[in-house]
Structure 1
Amino acid sequence: MLAAVVAAVVVAPFAAAGASELDVVRAVAGDGQPQPGHIDMTGATPAPPPGGALALGSSQVPGLYYCHNYRIWSYASGRYVAEEQDYGGDQHNMLRARTAADQAGSWEVFSLCSGDGGHTVYLTAPSGYLVTAEYNYAGGARGMLRGRGEWVDVWETFDVWTDSGRYFLRNPSKGAYVTCRVDYKGASYRMMKATGTAAGSWEALRFDPV
């Protein structure tokens, strides 16, 4: 019964999807401008790049070989990011900031991997797939993050930025920040997507080591 309800909600149109990120006004996350930063990779373990090779195109990012497990906290939602493995169709494995701190489990554990000291990362989702920004999607789903990649390309790569102790992930292919859509409704509420035009309050993240 629960699966049927979830499926029915997921396939429904995005209720607030018509609003572009450019139309959203929100407070900045800190007092200054974000600066290039890095995620702490202390204790990271070596890992081969998925698929046996990297295909990073013009970004020329060096091989990413060290991984560390983190839970990702969204300040905008006050929740941990989860991979929605029960969702179906094009929303299968959508990333959504919906888990309270005292309820975090395996769906909230992501492996962050880097070869440059945590300045550039890719993420392996709990499903074992890479977190991908779906820029081929249209409308409110454009830029949705979900676990479905099998090799690292520009849609699976993120630069790390910081401001006043908070962190931001930016996809280099579009120059867009990962944002939490707290204005969406239903099963898309708090969707994580790489479409943010600035490092503001909806984009601010915290990485808690596991």
Structure 2
Amino acid sequence: MSALLDTLDCPPGTRMLLEVAGLEDKLTTHCVGHARGRFVIAQMPHLPETGREALYQLLYPDAAVIARYLREGTVVGFSARVIKWIQVPFPLIFLTYPGRLESHDLRRHRRVHCCLPGRATFGGSALAGMLLDLSLSGCQFSAVLDEAPPPVRIDDTARLSCELFGADEAAGLDCLVMRVASSGRRLEVGLKFRDLPPAARDALDAYLRAALSVLG
């Protein structure tokens, strides 16, 4: 289902797909930042030298661009125009700020808010925290840190443990990092379950059914 959004919620570092008029392939880049009502800045996509010059020719002022990014399981897209692109001091593309945002929810399963103790391992770093929302496809994990957070990036793998999935270590779930946000000492990570063993899926399904029967 598509819907209209009022606010561009695209933090720096968010991966974006750009469709540039005249170019068949979609280009992968990252958002650098934006100023409400003024502009959006994206990194210049990395291309082989043979395709780079063709892209530069198509990024003329007022050229049409469609940008899309993923935000908490929802694809957000908008149309914009190229303001300009620069190479120095960094290769960047300046786009007009969108007047209209459209979203499409990719999540197949309804999420419920929760507060369940859990433990997530990123690389070699294990963090104790809480699961703040939960569905059959993923969850949001939050931790308050006493030191610098471990390097966590989108598309990293993680291991999530929670008594809901089982008490032993083998009951932990392999996950994929979909979102990373930090504020002060708090780290929040959106996780997608890569594979749900039958026992964990049954326990999770029973919990969600019970929660939804109360929440309506």
Q: Aligning the two structures, in what range does the TM-score lie when normalised by the shorter sequence?
A: under 0.3
- Relative contact order higher in (CA < 8 Å, ≥ 6 apart): 1
Which one has a larger percent strand, Structure 1 or Structure 2?
Answer: 2
Question: What TM-score do you get using the length of structure 1 for normalisation?
Answer: 0.27
Question: What TM-score do you get using the length of structure 2 for normalisation?
Answer: 0.26
